[in-house]
Structure 1
């Protein structure tokens, strides 16, 4: 964060102008003490996605170091170039889910054999005579004719980044019985120019031997290579060829990449969540993330084909996670598998009796972290050099699981863990609505991936949430829709959201943005907090929002009376608009669709008239007055072109669910007969647990109403009605009001005020997500502040601006001091900005 001191003539603060003309008026009671803000409020969520670990945070520089990359999970096969898991029943639908995942035809990714002159050599992966039984694959390289040289070359994660004069630790295992002895290992540029080398003398007794060396780079490159020059004809076996910078974060040998870890350190995380995320569950249960396989020598770890389409090395394992928590001064959150695979993939599940294995596995993980050294797994921890307990404080039971089977599993796990470890905080996968099937809920974990409007419109979502039931951990959230790869508008909407989270600190105890990191060469998720390649790390504008909130967390909130000038309300539907029906991973039938306008005129849909219908997506059939959707696609749509709805209209139809995961969709307010822009009723969504009205834009949607507990029963016709009147939409099912949405003024200015007891400072956070300056008047009552304070500003010229690898600090916090504060002052907050003001209380 840059710090500068600015003269009065450059500041946006202005002298008092009188009572009128302000966009925001805040009266802050300095004697008040509102909701406390947990020290663990702002944490980080780590998952091996987008090469966030391997090729990101984890320090290993070579890809496929153990040659296990092409090992398929048990029961999988390759079909048409894609990886296909075994067919199993899904724990939600009770039916098989058929999907495939990316694979490749390179037999040993990351590696290549360089043959110079008339050299002849061949290589393949083998599992005979393994070096490690737990990771049995090695590379057999047979040099038939050395010619002018044969080299085994690793290209790293999209290049090996080398810094001039930096030192790198090489570790590898080699065995040969008939090869030469004098091998050379080199660091090179992309064109083969040598940037460092070390000789290695091989044993030729046919046994595995470990070789270690340090190489120093003579120049800087982001596209380097590690080249192993074979000493002559013969057969050579290689296993675990690893290269680490000596200068890792905190100097750990199997440590983290320093520049990336320092970015995370600057977030001042109160906790670290690990290992995810969907990797916890796996595509199927046998490729879930298995913490026990991550212990011990990194060379012996088998890794696993990752849920996100590549193999993780298990290098950033359970011990490394716990060490990292200590290094960051953060608490640990372990997420355990409950015998359920990801429902959006295979959804495989085991029996409740078999789930006892997974309960014991979770108890073992906890014992490893905090158990006594005379316990089985506490002794393993001590033997690995850490007799003291690790700072594990939270366990989440499953990841994004739900439904009756999860209810049973949650109760089983909760009871077993709480009996043995009563001081741990146990977190459920339930959303805000909780679950009637759970015996005890300490904390729920709602997730939000939305467009900017959602966060702007729901900053008060938790204000009226019932207290006393359970606490809230917002485990995954980000603005990732209609913002490209992320922009300042997304960041400001998240800042607005966090003002509400902080204000409700009495019930919201923790929050973590997700996903955390992406390698720019492998984006599996549309928007991520931090971008890396092999030699650079870039924080998006959202990163700096997280940093500013975490570094300026108050101990408690102050009472604020606010008067904010809002923009005019937008009409819900201002013109005649199209109507549509749809489903999400569900089979449903519709009939008797009609629309009645404000004057009582009725238009009825004819399901048999092809001219009235457009089918953007789905497997639709129409006949005998019924439209049926029989596929399992997401967001299917059948658009009615024969009728229109506008303000005052009532849409009515009958619906029957015949199969699948959810309920039904109804589109309205569509400006054209597609899914470009409008609204969507999601009835029985979120796996048939809730309903809401969502905003729809470019085939993406997010809730704009409250998400209310609801479900749609199968096998019977229900009467649905949507009433559109005076800026309000109401959804009724069988004459019962389910969801209401009223257009509100489009608020884009937000605030939070709190007090830091250690520094004695008042902390103000102001979000101005408009293209004009926000004129504010701020008054302190029942106390006063010093005249000089600190001002930290994150701003952008335009809401669509974002950082990049070429301009990594284009949007970054700028800090200055200002000597003109008082108990009453006016201030012009910059357009498209987040501002933090810290004032010492007198």
Structure 2
């Protein structure tokens, strides 16, 4: 059997990335969970609930066929309670989401917090935050202090309320600019159900955004992966890793599908994506982190390209779809795809779909004899 036949298939499903191999401990870190995908609208279901539907469909695409063949209501339901998933407020204050004064174009919403004396902003993580003794965790978050004047501390607390780690930022003065706050938290005990707390003591209104807490990662990579899970996958010794694939890669429509160009920038500048599996992905485990992971375990990095469009003009899309589904932009003709690894060095020009499929040797020049470094791969993506 060829040694190149053994692979790892990666998909963001059931929190395999966020809350899984991606080491981020804070859930809904940028408060974007409740943002409706731009190409979607909300309509009422017969049971009075809400579901998402494409704003518009291409000619010839039935309204009930744009999605997967199985019952599409299952994955397009809209839960209004997910807007602040992971977050809660204790003490004197009020919180709500705001689109005023966005931190950047990728994070259009932030949390507006009105502090009345003392307010504790709590994040429960993904089924709890796994606090561990040993090397410290790296904390980073952003504040626009607004009219707030008072003290700020952060802490890791056990399920029963014991403080495992804390840091005092001292006094926070009013201001209109977004400011990054960083610290390291070294837990004095372990608890898989710990929580993260921002405590404000003072008065005023401020905004919070992009709260991130990372334990030590695989190879100490910034914005990296969990060491234990990465090592577990490495032990399989795959010859190549595919990313991103499965239903995740197509999003709810072509317009909302993953875009590698938005996954190689700093994580604060990644716009997130509402995935197919009923939650929003941070895309923190993006193309850059994927390539680093492949280098770490000595595997080839493999991407997939799909063709989406109608003859005679074909639009070269970013990734591979599944289940031969309709899309909001056009039909995926015959579900025919061309696979390419990140060793790809050229892509052909405009051709018809028939020409592209029958002459894929003109599409991709594979450098099978030369090992391409991460730097080379990154330069090819820009």
* Distance verdict in 2 for CA 1:353–1:87, change over 3 Å: farther
**Separation (CA, whole Å) in 1 of partners of 2:161 and 2:337:** 59
1:226 corresponds in structure 2 to: 196
1:86 is aligned, of 54, 62, 65, to 54
2:147 is aligned, of 173, 178, 184, to 178
* Distance verdict in 2 for CA 1:114–1:353, change over 3 Å: farther
1:153 corresponds in structure 2 to: 122
**Separation (CA, whole Å) in 2 of partners of 1:336 and 1:436:** 16
1:114 is aligned, of 74, 90, 115, to 90
* Residue 286 (structure 1) shift: 2.0
* Distance verdict in 2 for CA 1:302–1:171, change over 3 Å: same
**Separation (CA, whole Å) in 2 of partners of 1:154 and 1:288:** 28
2:24 is aligned, of 32, 37, 60, to 60
* Residue 104 (structure 1) shift: 2.2
1:104 corresponds in structure 2 to: 79
Contact 1:89–1:97 at 8 Å: present in 2 too?
A: no
2:69 corresponds in structure 1 to: none
Partner secondary structure for residue 57 of structure 1: coil
**Separation (CA, whole Å) in 1 of partners of 2:138 and 2:159:** 20
The Cα offsets for residues 8-45 of structure 1, whole Å up to 9 and x where unpaired, read as xxxxxxxxxxxxxxxxxxxxxxxxxxxxx323221100
- Matching of residues 228-267 of structure 1 within 5 Å: 228-245=198-215, 247-267=216-236
Contact 1:87–1:97 at 8 Å: present in 2 too?
A: no
Partner secondary structure for residue 293 of structure 2: helix
1:95 maps onto 2:62 in alignment: yes
* Residue 355 (structure 1) shift: 4.3
* Distance verdict in 2 for CA 1:170–1:419, change over 3 Å: closer
1:72 is aligned, of 31, 36, 40, to 36
Unaligned runs of 5+ in 2: 66-71, 349-353, 362-382
* Residue 141 (structure 1) shift: 0.5
1:303 is aligned, of 272, 283, 288, to 272
1:217 maps onto 2:187 in alignment: yes
1:125 corresponds in structure 2 to: 97
Count of matched residue pairs: 338
2:346 corresponds in structure 1 to: 420
1:312 maps onto 2:288 in alignment: no
2:110 is aligned, of 138, 146, 149, to 138
* Residue 156 (structure 1) shift: 0.0
* Distance verdict in 2 for CA 1:234–1:325, change over 3 Å: same
**Separation (CA, whole Å) in 1 of partners of 2:228 and 2:344:** 38
**Separation (CA, whole Å) in 1 of partners of 2:338 and 2:156:** 53
**Separation (CA, whole Å) in 2 of partners of 1:164 and 1:188:** 13
1:42 corresponds in structure 2 to: 6
Partner secondary structure for residue 262 of structure 2: helix
Contact 2:305–2:339 at 8 Å: present in 1 too?
A: no
* Distance verdict in 2 for CA 1:310–1:352, change over 3 Å: farther
* Residue 97 (structure 1) shift: 1.4
**Separation (CA, whole Å) in 2 of partners of 1:160 and 1:309:** 22
The Cα offsets for residues 191-229 of structure 1, whole Å up to 9 and x where unpaired, read as 322111001143422210001100111111011000000
The Cα offsets for residues 359-382 of structure 1, whole Å up to 9 and x where unpaired, read as 2x64xxxxxxxxxxxxxxxxxxxx
2:255 corresponds in structure 1 to: 286
Contact 2:150–2:200 at 8 Å: present in 1 too?
A: no
**Separation (CA, whole Å) in 2 of partners of 1:46 and 1:294:** 16
TM-score normalised over the length of structure 2 = 0.80
2:358 is aligned, of 417, 439, 445, to 439
Partner secondary structure for residue 133 of structure 1: coil
**Separation (CA, whole Å) in 1 of partners of 2:144 and 2:242:** 40
* Residue 76 (structure 1) shift: 2.4
* Residue 337 (structure 1) shift: 4.5
**Separation (CA, whole Å) in 1 of partners of 2:183 and 2:191:** 21
2:379 corresponds in structure 1 to: none
* Distance verdict in 2 for CA 1:292–1:137, change over 3 Å: same
TM-score normalised over the length of structure 1 = 0.37
The Cα offsets for residues 265-316 of structure 1, whole Å up to 9 and x where unpaired, read as 1110111111111122222222211222222110121101110110000100
**Separation (CA, whole Å) in 1 of partners of 2:64 and 2:31:** 31
**Separation (CA, whole Å) in 2 of partners of 1:413 and 1:205:** 51
RCO higher in structure (CA 8 A, sep ≥6): 2
Partner secondary structure for residue 225 of structure 1: strand
Partner secondary structure for residue 286 of structure 1: coil
